[in-house]
Amino acid sequence: MLWILVISSALMLSIPFLVPHTGLVMLFAFIPLFAAEYIAAESQKRHFWIYYYVCFLIWNLCTTYWIYNATLPGMIAAVVLNALQMAVIFRLFRWVKGLASGFLPYLFFIVAWIAWEHAYFNWEVSWPWLVLGNGFATSIKSIQWYEYTGTLGGSLWVLLTNALIFRIVIGKIKGGRMMLSSISAVCVALLPIIVSHIIFYTYSQPYFEPSSGSGSRQFTVLQPNIDPYTDKFSGMTQLQQNNLLIGLAKNALQESCREKVENGGAIAEGSPTPSQFLVAPETFISRSPLIVENMPSQNRSFNTFRSFIDEQNSIPDRNLNMIIGAVTDKFHYNHPYSDTNGKPMPPTPTARYLKSGNLWYDRANSAIFLSSDGEYEFYTKSKLVVLVETIPYKKLFNLMSRFEIDLGGSMGSFATQPEREIFVAPDSVKVGTAICYESVYGDYYREYVLNGAQVMSIITNDGWWGDTPGYRQHLSYASLRAIETRRSIARSANTGISAFINQRGEVIASTEWWKPASLTESLPLNNELTIFVRHGDIIGRVAQFLFVLLVLMSLARTLGRRGAIS
């Protein structure tokens, strides 16, 4: 009986991450697990930790097994350790349940889980893929209120609804009158859905009117579909890849121009041409020699794309800018190798030493902005994938370096930057660019908008995971970011899925998996800030405060009981 209940919970927790539009299953997913815990407590079942740990293990395995495509040890570590953290929270819940009765232990569980999710976003070993609120990523009509709460508002909704319904069931079993509790549960479960649908169907996309042109801009996303295992870093040369992308871009721009003329959308004579944007995938320029940020014009690939943009802008009614991913180096000239005692003295925590040049340098996963006026900018990815782009707690765990995952020569700790820098086109349109994993972190992602982004782009390479739920989950999480910030998104993925997402979180156009493709769409600009963008993850911060308070109260009660016994 217990195994049936815990496996039922594991499967119900997994379904929303695997089957589109099933997010509401999350509102009941913990009930079988709560029932199993209740039965185990009543029967004084020993070693119940095995049951709930297996529950979380199955959930993690069913939803994130696809990591094995890149690394089997990494997948095992992610599944085992993530499930362990969940199990620790459930064990704390059982501890408090032994000290207090009624709803308080369930309140503690809710607070503890949300506090953990909030903290998890900022740890060096961070894998918040299965935040409960992410389970609604394909059920966007039910979560439009994320613009106020962020994703952890969804986590609160899930936990509170599950706890209330289960307490009602237990009360009914014991013959209690649960009218008020039933009304509360119905309100908690249904009101967010009703409010969300009202917001969804009444939402109108505000946009900013720049000094020139309309309140929208044309974006073209490119999907070159280069296999990261056989071609990206070993099979095709960088020159071949550049030619492939430029050919794809030329065809997309010609098609877009033809459609504009057919639809009577040519720019009036004498009117300034609004900026247009090409968006290419993460780490597209990644073969040696890498672009050096201090002197990019010495790199052949940089000059190739710079020339391509200049050539396109010589065509009438074109004002083209480009965002493209690259692995870049930045040299720290005139910085000594060591101090007066001969101890190595790196200029940054992530700097590497180049013996042949007798200098330090940083390597980064970057986005390059090639402006239509001939200027350029670099943005450095700063939410790094553990064991792929960074070694966590390196001073304490140097042994972990042997488990680094080499995804195309990008091993080692990459550089980061403190600010979410945005790109500004010559006509003052402001575009934020999140690189791959950065789009999973809502509280982090909102900083692009705080810094002025009127529209967002996401560049990624999801080909590592094969044709599995991984790349589809990653795409769906972008819808959450669109709702939280009310910014449209242009998403370019090397091997799919590339897409456009509007401010309501709807995918309005997308490519197929594993096919070269391009998409062009006009995206509205927005200068308004949502409550979540302004204030961040309030729910998570409050939960952390309450968690500390409840733990201290529980410890005090435990010590009081021991004192009474003695």
Given this model, what pLDDT does residue 265 score?
Answer: 59
- Rounded Cα distance, 66 and 465, in Å: 6
| Per-residue pLDDT tens over the stretch 313-361 | 999 889 999 999 999 999 999 888 887 777 888 898 889 988 887 889 9
Q: What's the pTM?
A: 0.92
pLDDT > 90? residue 101: no
| Phi/psi at 547 (5° precision) | -60, -50
Strands 430-435 and 276-279: unpaired
Given this model, what pLDDT does residue 409 score?
Answer: 34
Given this model, what pLDDT does residue 410 score?
Answer: 40
Whole-number percent of the chain with pLDDT over 70: 91
Q: Domain residue spans in the chain?
A: 2-203+537-565, 216-535
Q: Are 322 and 333 in contact (CB under 8 A)?
A: no
| Phi/psi at 315 (5° precision) | -85, 135
| Per-residue pLDDT tens over the stretch 447-499 | 999 999 999 999 999 988 899 999 999 999 999 999 999 999 999 999 879 99
Q: CA nearest 553: which of 49, 95, 86? A: 95
Q: Mean pLDDT across the chain, nearest whole number?
A: 90
SS3 27: helix
Highest average pLDDT, of 222-231, 344-353, 391-400, comes from: 222-231
Q: CA nearest 311: which of 362, 241, 370, 359? A: 370
Contacts of residue 199, defined as CB under 8 A and 6 or more positions apart, other chains included, come to 144, 145, 147
Distances in Å between the Cα of 560 and the Cα atoms of 37, 311, 475, 550, 552 are 26, 78, 51, 15, 12
Given this model, what pLDDT does residue 526 score?
Answer: 95
Given this model, what pLDDT does residue 214 score?
Answer: 56
Task: List the single range of 212-221, 229-238, 241-250, 426-435 with lowest mean pLDDT.
Answer: 212-221
Task: List the single range of 249-258, 437-446, 498-507, 556-565 with lowest mean pLDDT.
Answer: 556-565
pLDDT > 60? residue 288: yes
| Phi/psi at 135 (5° precision) | -65, -15
Q: How confident is the model at residue 412 (pLDDT cuts 50, 70, 90)?
A: low
Q: What is the CATH number of domain 216-535?
A: 3.60.110.10
SS3 147: helix
pLDDT > 50? residue 423: yes
| Phi/psi at 200 (5° precision) | -60, -45
pLDDT > 70? residue 268: no
What would you report as the CA-atom Rg of the chain, rounded to the nearest whole angstrom?
Answer: 26
**Cα-based angle 209, 211, 215 (whole degrees, multiple of 5):** 25
Q: How confident is the model at residue 222 (pLDDT cuts 50, 70, 90)?
A: very high
Q: Where are the beta strands (DSSP E) in 302-441?
A: 320-332, 352-354, 359-370, 376-380, 422-424, 430-435
Given this model, what pLDDT does residue 356 score?
Answer: 83
| Per-residue pLDDT tens over the stretch 295-315 | 999 999 999 999 999 999 999
| Per-residue pLDDT tens over the stretch 27-48 | 999 999 999 999 999 888 888 9
- Rounded Cα distance, 441 and 384, in Å: 11
Given this model, what pLDDT does residue 382 score?
Answer: 94
Given this model, what pLDDT does residue 54 score?
Answer: 97
Task: For residue 291, give the amino acid letter.
Answer: I
